[in-house]
Amino acid sequence: MARMGYDGVVLTAPHTEPYARFSNETAHWWIARALRGSLRAAGLTPAQIDGFAVSSFTLFPDTPVALTQHLGLSPRWLDTVPTGGASGVVALRRAARAVQAGDADIVACVGGDTNPIDGFRTLLSAFSRFALDASYPYGFGGPNANFALLMDAYLTEYGADRADFAHVAVAQRANALNNPHALMKKPLTVEQYLSARPIADPIALFDCVMPCAGAESFLVMREERARALGLPFARLRATIERHNAFAEDPVQLRGGWAVDVDDLWAQAAMGPSDMDLVQTYDDYPVISVLQFEDLGFCTKGEGPAFLRKHDLTITGDLPHNTSGGQLSAGQAGAAGGYIGLVEAIRQVTQTAGPTQVENARRALVSGFGMINFDRGVCSAACVIEAGA
C-alpha cells in the first residue's frame, strides 16, 4: 500500500540553544531553554502546546513524563524518541502523523542534553547492554573505535585514503566559521586534518566530534495554524526510517538508508539533484560519505570521488552541514540528532542568517544513531521544502 503523504503538516519555529563545551546545568534546563526559544519564535505559550516529543540521554532519573510536570506542560500526546542521531527525523515522523490525524495540534520536538565534566565517559559507561558486554571491554574506545573499524574497512574495501575524508571536515569547518555559536572557531586545513593527533587509527582528532551541552527544537503544526501565526514554515515531502538493517554485514559499510532510499525519493517525487542542501549526520566524516552513497547521490564506494567534485560550503554547489555540523559546531547528545533538521528548517525558511544558502528551497536531512554494539542501529531521512 502506498504511504500517505504529509500534506498540510509543516515545520516551523526552529531554535538552537547555543552549545557549551561543559555545563553544570541539567538536561531539564537545556530542554526548557530550547522549548522556550521555539515558543517565543512562534508567539505561543506553553499551555498552547498539546504534543511533546523529547530526546535526551541525560534526563535520568526522569523521563519526558516527569518533564511535563517539571516544565508545567499538559500535552495530550507525549513521545520519547530514543534513536540518538536519528531522533530529529524520527520525532518529526511521529509528530507529523499525530498532527495529521488530529491527535495533537501543535507538537514541540526537542532534543537536548547536558555535559558535565566527565559526563561523556559516564554516559558511555552505561550506554547499552551490548556495548557493556561486547564493546567497552575492548579498549573502551567508545564510538571513536567503532567508527575507526568502519573507516578502516571502508578505506580497504574501496581504495580510499584519509585525504578523501579531509574534504568533508574542512568544508564543514569553513561553514562553522559563519556560525557564531559553533564551538570550533579556527579554520581547518587539509594538512591539519591529515597531521592531526591519532585517536583510533585511521581516525584522528578532526574526524571526531566534541561532546558538549546544548539543545535544539522545532514545532510541528498544520499549515493553517502557521499561516495564522504568521510563521515561515517548511513542508514535509518524504521520510524514511529503518532499524538494524543489514545485520549480517560483518562491518557496517552501508546503512539502513540503502533499504529505503527508493521509497524516500518516490514519496518526495524528487531526486538527489533537486536538493539545494544536504544535512547528514556527521559524527565522523566517513558516516557522512556513507549517507551520500546510500541516499542515492552516487554509487557505493564512489562517495569520496563524488564529494571531491563538489564544493560543500555554504556558497558551493552542494552545501552540506551548513551550520558546521556536529564536527565543527559540537555534539550535544541527542541534540546531535536535531542539529541538521533545525538548521535545514532555518535554511528553507530563509532564516539561517550568517549560514544562509542563497535561494535554498529543498533540503535532505538524514539521521543515524545508536552504536548499540558495533554499528549504528537507527537510520532515518527526510526531505523538506520551503512553504509557499
Comparing CB distances to another protein, the nearer of 109 and 210 is 210
Beta carbon nearer to another protein, 29 or 120 = 120
Nearer to another protein, 7 or 157 (CB): 157
Q: How far is the CB of 246 from another protein (least distance, A)?
A: 11
The dihedrals phi and psi of 381, each to the nearest 5 degrees, come to: -160, 155
Nearer to another protein, 371 or 383 (CB): 371
| Site of interaction with another protein (CB under 8 A) | 120-121, 124-125, 129-130, 132-142, 144-145, 148-150, 152-153, 156, 197-203, 247, 249-251, 373-374
CA angle 231, 235, 240 (to 5 degrees): 140
Find the DSSP H helices in 16-138.
Answer: 27-42, 64-71, 87-101, 119-125, 129-134
Q: Considering the complex, what minimum distance in angstroms separates the CB of residue 172 from another protein?
A: 21
Closest contact distance (angstroms) between CB of 248 and another protein is 9
**Smallest gap, in angstroms, from Cβ of residue 183 to another protein?**
18
Q: Which three cell numbers stand for residue 37?
A: 526559544
CB of 290 to another protein, least distance (A): 14
Classify strands 106-113 and 51-55 as parallel, antiparallel or unpaired: parallel
Nearer to another protein, 53 or 286 (CB): 286
Least distance CB 330 / another protein (angstroms): 17
Phi-psi region of 373 (alpha: psi -120 to 50; beta: other; left: phi over 0): alpha
Q: How far is residue 378's CA from residue 242's CA, in Å, rounded to a whole number? A: 6
Max Cα separation, the chain?
A: 56
Task: Please say which residue, 149 or 259, places its beta carbon nearer to another protein.
Answer: 149
Question: Measured in whole angstroms, how far is the alpha carbon of residue 136 from the centre of its chain?
Answer: 25
Tell me which DSSP letter residue 316 carries: S
Q: Is 334 left (phi over 0), alpha (psi -120 to 50) or beta?
A: alpha
